[in-house]
Amino acid sequence: MKTHISILLALVAFSYAEAQDIQYVSAENGLVIRVKPSRGAKRIGMLDYGTALEITEHTNLQLDIMNNGEKISGEWVKVRGMDAYEPFEEGYVFNGFLTEEKLKKRFKASFEEFTVSIDDISEKTPEEAFGNPDKILSFKLNLDESLEGKTIKVKHHQEFRTIEVFQKHENSIAISDDKSHCDLIDWQHYYSSWKPLKTISRNHKFKARAISEKEALKFIDVDIETLKSVVNETCGASWSESIKDVKSVKDYPTSIITSKVLLRIIMTDIDGYKTEKIIIFEIPMSCQTKVNSYAKL
């Protein structure tokens, strides 16, 4: 008898799991979740673009809203968070900004004064034990990701006068052949100057700069014999032998690659006090050696 009950419960659980109505937040600036199905109800929080939700109940309470001149029609639905780390269990949202299309959460870096999000960069966890997390956050980009031309959004948490965003990059030395690579990530680097990003929307949205080939090839003066010694210690005798004839850091199989892109965000508050934060993006060097090895072409 117990066996039959267990099987029945398992089947019910399986059917329930299969029947889940999962949808994703499509609102560009996030979607408010409330304790009751009413625009006047207490807010539980704001759900990020791409947040997965399970719809547990349709209320049939219809709602029309205007969004940038466009009428959006829908209803209030009761939802449950799919992520164990969501700061809520259940609540109500307007389903005009939900979609069945699976969307990925966007990159977001949160500070006390503001939050920075970037379109088309996936959600990431900051690198552990990196500097002061209240001022500097470091993240690793995926192999197929680049900041070039991306929209950077700064959402303020307090009144302010201005928000400025600057960008710089770090170049490093890489040594590669057609099968593997030796990366000197802890040796010498070239750092560009900070350059202001173009504003797309006043004080809120900015466009990340493209790094030109000329900028990507800049480097400091390096003693070649010292380089060979460092390569021997870091990567071994075979790699040291492979560069025995190079005269410059741009001679194959050595090359210059961009290893980091940094953003500096400066907010001036209503009283004139400036707050500065740094976000560092580490670029996987293994995905660049064949693509950006200009000296090899």
Digit-by-digit pLDDT tens for the chain (297 residues) are 555 555 555 554 444 445 588 999 999 888 999 999 999 999 998 898 899 999 999 999 999 988 888 899 999 999 998 875 566 789 999 999 999 999 988 899 999 999 999 988 999 999 876 678 789 999 999 988 999 999 999 988 888 899 999 999 999 998 887 677 787 878 999 999 999 999 987 668 999 999 999 999 999 999 999 999 999 998 888 888 889 899 988 888 888 999 999 999 999 999 999 999 999 999 986 544 433 433 322
Q: Which of these, 140, 119, 111, 105, lies nearest to 277 by C-alpha position?
A: 111
Q: Are 21 and 15 spatial neighbours (Cβ–Cβ below 8 Å)? A: no
CATH no. for 2-99? 2.30.30.40
Cβ neighbours for 11, distance < 8 A, ≥ 6 positions apart: none
Instruction: Count Cβ neighbours within 10 Å for each residue of 149-171 and write b for 16 or more, e otherwise.
Output: ebebbbeeeeebeebbbbbbbbb
The residues spanned by each domain of the chain are: 2-99, 106-296
Instruction: Count Cβ neighbours within 10 Å for each residue of 18-33 and write b for 16 or more, e otherwise.
Output: eeeeebbbbbeebbbb
pTM: 0.77
Provide the pLDDT for residue 265.
97
Residue 158 tokens, joined: 């307090």
Residue 285 tokens, joined: 């060097």
Provide the pLDDT for residue 129.
62
Measure the CA–CA gap between 137 and 210, rounded to whole angstroms: 22
Measure the CA–CA gap between 274 and 269, rounded to whole angstroms: 6
Residue 268 tokens, joined: 């001036």
